[in-house]
């Protein structure tokens, strides 16, 4: 359910025009991770000290929380229902709606949210298993912030199957 009369960022519907940026509170970490899989800029921490939420909301983010009082405090916010991430993301998609953009999928670090970069051959060879380097040499990406490496392995295929099950691909 939306707060703020159904308006999102800058008074606009967050599902239209520019891609919405999310702010996920500590109760919706798995949802935050899946929004990152979909390519959405999704800020998430396990806690937000002091006035950190206020500061982050000034960055035109759309807040996702399971706490009614937190959602009521901010105009651009949604109360997240359900215990399973599939239920949460399906409801969120109906509410905003989120437009599937497979070209944006797997472009963000799932841990720290930064955009991934293409890894150079030397760095990739040093940081991924040999078979990965030889099978996916052009598709190896890394996070410039935390240094994690990503490639198109079986885990990615499982995630795509899950996104299909949630209706993001036909």
Concatenating the DSSP letter of every residue in the chain gives -BSSTT--GGGS-TTSSSPPEEEE-GGGHHHHHHHHHTT--EEE-S---TTHHHHHHTT-EEEEES-HHHHHH-SSEEE---SSHHHHHHHHHHHSPPPP-GGGTT-B-TTT-PBPEEPPHHHHHHHS-HHHHHHSGGG-EE-TTT--EE-S-HHHHHHHHHHHHTTS--
State pTM to two decimals.
Answer: 0.85
Residue by residue, pLDDT tens for the chain (170 residues) are: 544 434 443 333 444 445 899 999 989 999 999 999 999 999 999 888 888 989 999 999 999 999 999 899 988 999 999 999 999 999 999 888 788 889 999 999 999 999 999 999 999 999 999 999 998 888 899 999 999 999 998 899 999 999 999 988 87
């Amino acid at each position: 359910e939306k707060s703020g009369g159904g308006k999102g960022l800058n008074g606009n519907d967050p599902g239209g025009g520019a891609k919405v940026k999310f702010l996920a509170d500590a109760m919706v970490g798995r949802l935050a991770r899946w929004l990152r899989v979909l390519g959405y800029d999704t800020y998430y921490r396990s806690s937000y000290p002091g006035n950190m939420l206020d500061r982050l909301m000034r960055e035109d983010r759309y807040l996702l929380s399971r706490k009614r009082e937190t959602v009521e405090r901010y105009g651009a916010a949604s109360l997240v229902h359900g215990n399973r991430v599939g239920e949460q993301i399906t409801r969120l998609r109906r509410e905003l709606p989120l437009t599937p953009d497979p070209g944006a999928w797997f472009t963000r670090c799932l841990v720290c949210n930064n955009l991934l970069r293409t890894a150079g051959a030397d760095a990739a060879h040093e940081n991924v298993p040999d078979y990965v380097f030889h099978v996916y040499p052009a598709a190896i990406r890394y996070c410039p912030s935390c240094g994690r490496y990503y490639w198109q392995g079986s885990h990615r295929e499982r995630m795509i199957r899950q996104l299909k099950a949630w209706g993001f691909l036909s």
